[in-house]
Structure 1
Amino acid sequence: MFCARKSVIVSEGAKHRGQRSIMSPAFGSSQIRDLMHIFVQKSAETQRIDRQLQLRNIWADEVSKSDGCARINAMDGLQKLTLDVISLAGFGLDLKALNNNGEPNEIDEAFCEIFSAVPPVKLYRVMMDWLPFLDFFPDERTKKIRHARSVIRRIGTDLIREKKAAIQRELDIGDGALGKEDLPGKDLLTLLIKANMATNLTKNQRLTDEEVLSQIPTFLVAGHESTTITTAWCLFALTQNPRIQQKLREELLSLQTDSPTMDELASLPYLDRVVRETLRLYTPVVFTLRAAAEDDVIPLSEPVIDRNGKAQHEIRIAAGNRVIVSILEPHHSKAIWGDDALEFRPERWDNLPEEAARMPGIWGNVLAFAAGAHSCIGYRFAIAEIKAVLFTLVREFVFELGVAPEDVTAVGMLTQRPALKSELEVGPQLPLLVRPYVHPVSS
């Protein structure tokens, strides 16, 4: 619905390979390292002048106003945090979504319209995918999304024009030559445009402005929505497992810095296990769609019984058939992960079952970032951001759930956001009781 049809997420074949080739340098390890200061800055800025913009300090203020324990909707703060991060790291814009001064921001409002309250899928919206003429009779939700997309498209077009002009000015000052490897540490959109303007590319290898524009929603989905959901579910899991929360906190406090580098975060093994376990148990995107390019026969690892009672050992599909590939099911399979598959247990990553070790994901033996040619190109960005936010928040606060655990549920079809069964009409939320962590006094 939100990802443009020419984006790397939905393109196929040679076009997809070409887009990934152009985009890959912007998402390499060295480029993500250069963005770490943004992840940390938006999680916790130590300069007093920026206090109102930073999530840690906002929550600390709430705690101090509430006699040491505040009831906070974690989803609200995390959504604003990740929006600030992706706008800065992705486009070089500081939306100041974490700023509480109430000033309107056009692009912020458009993002919030798309992401803040995604309702359950209705039959009419499903029918719109199959009956194109219904596009002429959109429902209210579709009208709002179309307006938000038009705002993002207009602003994105202006951004691309400005960044291309800035890069051209750099070329005019220099020797006029630009290689794909010549990528200074700037925002992802600038890096993408610079790679696309490389003089060693042929015309057929370059992305059109429309294709570059189509990547902006892709950045938003990966850098805003998925990271918000994953971090929120991780905090929920930590409230249900105080021992794990404290063990993680002790490891994070062992790093004597408030501004860790990407390599320093990667050196924390328990943090890595906690993130992997969160992505496994609370997969942010629960399925993916694929279309068959040709007739094929898919073998099954185990036979399934069809409606006629007959065992089927394979599935025949025809060219053009669309297939829903579940990500959640293999992540929760007891046959793969053992009898405790539905438990949050980071220690399982010390010694994975053989079946789990064969999981073909691009990162961490999980399918959260998919696998193969269509794996998530921005997975390093997402992991670094999630780890940086957890590093800052878990060191500072002790988290408890603000409602009964059985009241928490997941809402959404493609993505699974935390919400309350008793307040589904409110939309996604995660009420937490937040207290400052008191360091033990050494004797």
Structure 2
Amino acid sequence: MNLFTIPSPSSLWTTVRPGGAFNIACSFAALWAFVKVLRMLRWRVKTTQLLGPPRTSLVYGVSHDLAISQNSAAMYERWATEYGVVYMIPSVLGQTTVVLCDPRAIAHFYTREIRTYVHTPLSLALLEAAVGKGLLWAQGETHKRQRKALTPAFSNAAIRKLTSVFYDSAYKAKGKWDTVIESSKDGDAVIEVQNWMNHISLDTVGIAGFSHDFGSLDGKPASVTEVFDTFGSNQPSAMNEFFILLASVFPIILKIPTKRRNLFKKLSVTMEQISNELLIRSRREKDANMSQGGEENSLVGLLIKSEGQDAELHMSAEEVVAQMKVLLLAGYETTSGDLTWALIELSRHPDVQTRLREELLAFGPDPTYDQLKANLPYLDAVVHETLRLRPPVPESVRVAAEDDVLPLSEPVRTASGNMTDSISIAKGTLITISIPAINRSSAIWGPDSKEFKPDRWLTEDGIGGKAKEVQGHRHLLTFVDGPRACLGKDFAITEFKTVLSVLVKNFVFEMRDGPNTPVEAARGILPRPRVVGEDGTGVPLRIRQYE
């Protein structure tokens, strides 16, 4: 080659391009690191630095310990005892999370939840993938508009009219159980109750919300039933937990097609197909229903009404379908899990079960909606004690969208050793509240806080002074609080009471392997009970008819 030959432009670019691309990449990486350092410095200056547990993992902080624990609430409570009612925990890849265990700080947090404290990018991605851009996903004015549009479907008047639907599902399950028990030789039968509670809840929400019977109590095959049931038999793998933890920093990781992500995708597609089918049918029936005095305040009626371009609280087609998916998911997952927990606790505490049955039998006929609310105090106590000990949703995790100051009901010691009665929170700070940790806290609920003790709801002094400081339904965080408080609370509690009253009046429940049978937390879509050694979320109970 002649040393004086001028290289062609293409060969010159081939020579320079790799180095140029590398330099550009390095420049972007340096800029990203610089911005991260500036944000970290601002965060450290603006946020009160608190005490907290040391990291147990360089990568995960303490997040992996919490994720694999059978009782993360106990870990949060132990740290609150050691470090104060507000403290910091090290999280994934150097992140820090502020944990709130103080009733006053928690009340402040929930009142500002849709503006100051908002979903994290991970939460938004997970919710959108599972149920779309509906009420659970929405924030700010969008959340306010969607909630206002749906509120009439969950009023006292609306739930009062739906009580007969709850009874119908409960009695359908009773009839199936009677058949199983009567065909047994010993006068009792072992029945896997969680699956039945799932199907009671799904059929109920189908009829009550959409005038559609999924028929799962009759064994009717339906795509949504099959997908929901699959979650119970497919527990999250260690690899899935690894992806979720890293996704808290890099949400794009959720795009990786894990088995569980594919299951969520299938669930979302299935619920969307069913929602669209129900909407098409309901639109066709709308005029006929209205001419016969049909209820526009039913959930599906409100959704169809909101589709109109001139509707005061207009929702897009995407939002309408998302609301239906939310109700399907919530109707299947939440009440069914707590009904299962209630049957477990009654099986473990036969004296409580007997006392509840006596109250129900003494009352006589099936109570109305208003009687369920006011005339059966022990049923109310059993239901709320279950809701206290076993909230379906384990945590509220949010990120601060702006700087804020959290007031405290008692002072805490900062990392520098000073005492303070308020905490400065910088924009970008992660906040978490462990709902079961607050519901079961000994400092808040007293020394018997871990016990299933319905009597605490029956006396004036049963709910202690500290517990009374917790804002939320009956001083519980089970339905959270503030503008994101569960819209379906009354629906869920009425269904819970109705189904439990029918089952306890007619059957006696025992743990199959004795009252000390160990039960652990498994995971459907949300945490679920499971008898240790059972597959999926199996809860087999020995059941006989009450004579």
Match of 1:189 among 262, 282, 300: 300
Contact 2:347-2:511 at 8 Å conserved across structures: yes
Q: Aligned partners of 1:129 and 1:413: how far apart in 2?
A: 21
Pair 1:18-2:145 in alignment: yes
Q: Aligned partners of 2:246 and 2:179: how far apart in 1?
A: 47
Q: Aligned partners of 2:289 and 2:386: how far apart in 1?
A: 43
CA-CA distance at 1:342 after TM superposition:
0.9
CA-CA distance at 1:430 after TM superposition:
1.6
Aligned match of 1:441? none
Pair 1:364-2:474 in alignment: yes
Aligned match of 2:222? 105
Aligned match of 1:50? none
Match of 1:279 among 387, 411, 415: 387
**Counterpart code for 1:430:** V
Change (3 A) 1:112 1:155: same
Match of 1:409 among 513, 520, 523: 520
Aligned match of 1:298? 406
Contact 1:183-1:195 at 8 Å conserved across structures: no
Partner secondary structure for residue 434 of structure 1: strand
Pair 1:6-2:6 in alignment: no
Pair 1:348-2:456 in alignment: yes
**Counterpart code for 1:360:** Q
Partner secondary structure for residue 274 of structure 1: helix
Q: Look at both structures and tell me which one has the larger radius of gyration over its CA atoms.
A: 2
Contact 1:5-1:11 at 8 Å conserved across structures: no
Q: Aligned partners of 1:56 and 1:145: how far apart in 2?
A: 32
Partner secondary structure for residue 520 of structure 2: strand
CA-CA distance at 1:312 after TM superposition:
6.5
Contact 2:205-2:327 at 8 Å conserved across structures: yes
CA-CA distance at 1:309 after TM superposition:
7.1
Contact 1:113-1:145 at 8 Å conserved across structures: no
Structure 1 segment 192-211 matched on structure 2, within 5 A: 192-194=303-305, 197=308, 201-202=311-312, 205-211=313-319
Contact 1:7-1:211 at 8 Å conserved across structures: yes
Change (3 A) 1:135 1:239: closer
Aligned match of 2:182? 64
Change (3 A) 1:286 1:144: closer
Provide structure 2 residue ranges, at least 5 long, that are not aligned to the other structure. 1-125
**Counterpart code for 1:159:** L
Q: Aligned partners of 2:255 and 2:479: how far apart in 1?
A: 35
89-98 vs 121-130, which moves further? 121-130
TM-score (ref. length: structure 1): 0.85
Aligned match of 2:372? 265
Match of 2:258 among 132, 139, 145: 139
Structure 1 segment 355-394 matched on structure 2, within 5 A: 355-361=466-472, 363-394=473-504
| 1:117-154 superposed Cα distances (whole Å, 9 cap, x missing partner) | 45365112333454344344311221122122112112
Contact 1:183-1:191 at 8 Å conserved across structures: no
Match of 2:439 among 331, 339, 346: 331
Partner secondary structure for residue 427 of structure 1: coil
Pair 1:215-2:323 in alignment: yes
Q: Aligned partners of 1:112 and 1:4: how far apart in 2?
A: 17
Q: Aligned partners of 2:182 and 2:417: how far apart in 1?
A: 63
Contact 1:34-1:185 at 8 Å conserved across structures: no
| 1:13-72 superposed Cα distances (whole Å, 9 cap, x missing partner) | 11111111100001111111111111101110xxxxxxxxx2112222222223212111
Pair 1:153-2:272 in alignment: yes
Matched pairs, number: 412
Pair 1:398-2:508 in alignment: yes
Partner secondary structure for residue 289 of structure 1: strand
Q: Aligned partners of 1:168 and 1:130: how far apart in 2?
A: 50
| 1:178-199 superposed Cα distances (whole Å, 9 cap, x missing partner) | xxxx971775223333366596
Q: Aligned partners of 1:91 and 1:116: how far apart in 2?
A: 28
RMSD (CA atoms): 2.7
Contact 2:295-2:301 at 8 Å conserved across structures: no
Match of 1:127 among 234, 246, 249: 246
TM-score (ref. length: structure 2): 0.69
Q: Aligned partners of 2:432 and 2:321: how far apart in 1?
A: 27
Change (3 A) 1:77 1:169: closer
Contact 2:506-2:546 at 8 Å conserved across structures: yes
Contact 1:285-1:414 at 8 Å conserved across structures: no
Contact 2:411-2:419 at 8 Å conserved across structures: yes
Contact 1:336-1:353 at 8 Å conserved across structures: yes
